[in-house]
Amino acid sequence: VGCIFAELLLLRPLFAGKESPSLKGSSSPFQSDQCHRIFTVLGMPSEKEWKGVSRLSFWEYVKDWRMDCHLSSTVNLPPSSAAYDLLSKLLQFDPRKRITATEALNHPYFKEAPLPSDNIFEYTDMSQYSNRTVKRLLKKEASESVAPKEHPSSSALSTANPPQSLGTTI
């Protein structure tokens, strides 16, 4: 859920890794590029932060890596913001320390403007406008959005060269 929330904030994947060519067809789940991307943003987990991390199968590959947390600059959020606080709690390495779905839904982030609504397309309180103004605004919006804009990362995708594998994500 944390990766999806980050993607909504960034409009791109937070940890867009590449599958290691040497591991294709291998039974090894370790993906060095994916781990490197995660640790570059979140920093290296330690035993203090994630008890038992050094006993996990991938630890032998990464134990000498030294990386600090750069989440704030990666997602361009001040650490004091409610959005950053929620994201950092959703992205905790240790699942026992990660925020639960119920706790996330009750997080202060969802009590700030813009408030959640039943209609995700409801951006403005239209009750302040006359029916004539609302119709004019809707017509203008519809005429400006005839063709959907292409997502910046979609230009890299091509049907001529489909990806061999989707890779592994956390």
Instruction: Tell me: pLDDT of 167 over 90.
Output: no
Does residue 87 contact residue 6 with C-beta atoms inside 8 Å?
A: yes
For residues 41 and 68, what is the distance between their CA atoms, to the nearest angstrom?
8
Residues 15-19: what's their mean pLDDT?
80
CA separation for the pair 142, 124 (Å, rounded): 16
Task: Tell me if the pTM is above 0.75.
Answer: no
Task: Please say if the pLDDT value at position 111 is more than 70.
Answer: yes
Query: Is the separation of the CB atoms in 57 and 30 below 8 Å?
Result: yes
Q: What percent of the chain is modeled with pLDDT above 70? A: 65
How many CB atoms sit inside 10 A of residue 50's CB?
16
What is the rounded CA–CA span in Å between residue 4 and residue 1? 5
Maximal C-alpha separation, the chain: 67
